[in-house]
């Protein structure tokens, strides 16, 4: 949860630097996404591509891309706002903004994964950030692997999946709360400039 809160705080401070006096903007960092606007976007689907990153070409046969495709299909068919999957050395994760319905989330993740398959081909890793969701996959058997495939050493890390899920949910809720406060503040500023 601390990583999420730190990321959101950093994104909000970057928004002020990158978008001074703007009534709308978005900042995508590696770990969080902050968007503000004077037009309503909460609860509105947005499948436009915000950011796409594809790793280098794997250079191996269809067997490995088949594993990748199976992991991506698992993400599409999973439920909820946060989805993880993996098979062997291929891992995947997808997440939606909490203001979408489960059906809208599934649709958004489906589009992101379709774009990963078509745009990244047989790359070692791929990230597809759409307006309201993202999906990523990576292979852990490569020196070219995505930064997320590298293990991190955390002292005192618990292996309890329930605690991890709870921490993710609390982090998302905290991020949404900070975003709403930030948007209310910006709305007051924008309304004041319009007079």
Calculate helix-pair angle for 102-120, 62-77, nearest 10 degrees. 170
Residue 113, pLDDT score:
93
Q: What is the pLDDT of residues 148-178, one digit of tens each?
A: 444 444 434 444 566 677 677 777 777 788 8
- What's the rounded Cα separation, in Å, for the pair 68 and 81? 21
Task: Tell me the backbone φ, ψ of residue 28, rounded to 5 degrees.
Answer: -110, 115
Nearest to 137 by CA among 30, 65, 62, 61: 65
What is the CB neighbour count within 10 angstroms for residue 191? 11
Interval 112-138 mean pLDDT: 89
Residue 163, pLDDT score:
67
Q: What is the pLDDT of residues 54-110, one digit of tens each?
A: 888 876 555 567 888 888 888 888 877 888 888 888 889 988 888 888 889 889 999
Query: Tokens representing 185?
Result: 């503040």
Judged against a pLDDT cut of 60, whether residue 146 lies above it is answered with no
Nearest to 39 by CA among 26, 58, 52: 26
Interval 122-138 mean pLDDT: 88
Residue 75, pLDDT score:
87
pLDDT band for position 114 (50/70/90)?
A: very high
Task: Please answer whether residues 106 and 76 qualify as being in contact, where contact means their C-beta atoms are separated by less than 8 angstroms.
Answer: yes
3-state helix, strand, coil in the chain (%, to 5): 45, 25, 30
Q: Which residue has the higher pLDDT, 111 or 64?
A: 111
- What's the rounded Cα separation, in Å, for the pair 22 and 16? 9
Which domains, from first to last, does the chain contain?
44-149 (3.30.430.20)
Interval 6-29 mean pLDDT: 80
Query: Tokens representing 94?
Result: 């997808």
Residue 63, pLDDT score:
59
- What's the rounded Cα separation, in Å, for the pair 147 and 137? 11
Judged against a pLDDT cut of 90, whether residue 15 lies above it is answered with no
């Amino acid at each position: 949860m601390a990583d999420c809160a730190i990321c959101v705080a950093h994104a909000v401070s970057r928004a002020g630097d990158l978008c001074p006096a703007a009534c709308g903007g978005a900042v995508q960092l590696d770990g969080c996404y902050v968007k503000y606007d004077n037009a309503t976007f909460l609860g509105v689907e947005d499948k436009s591509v915000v950011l796409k990153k594809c790793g280098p070409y794997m250079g191996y046969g269809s067997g490995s891309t088949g594993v990748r495709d199976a992991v991506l299909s698992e993400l599409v068919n999973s439920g909820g706002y946060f989805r993880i999957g993996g098979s062997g050395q291929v891992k995947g994760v997808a997440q939606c903004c909490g203001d979408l319905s489960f059906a809208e989330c599934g649709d958004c993740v489906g589009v992101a994964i379709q774009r990963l398959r078509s745009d990244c081909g047989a790359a070692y890793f791929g990230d597809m950030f759409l307006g309201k969701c993202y999906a990523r996959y990576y292979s852990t058997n490569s020196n070219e692997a995505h930064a997320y495939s590298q293990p991190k050493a955390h002292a005192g890390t618990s292996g309890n999946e329930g605690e991890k899920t709870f921490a993710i949910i609390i982090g998302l809720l905290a991020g949404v709360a900070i975003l709403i406060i930030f948007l209310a503040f910006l709305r007051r500023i924008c309304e004041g400039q319009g007079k």
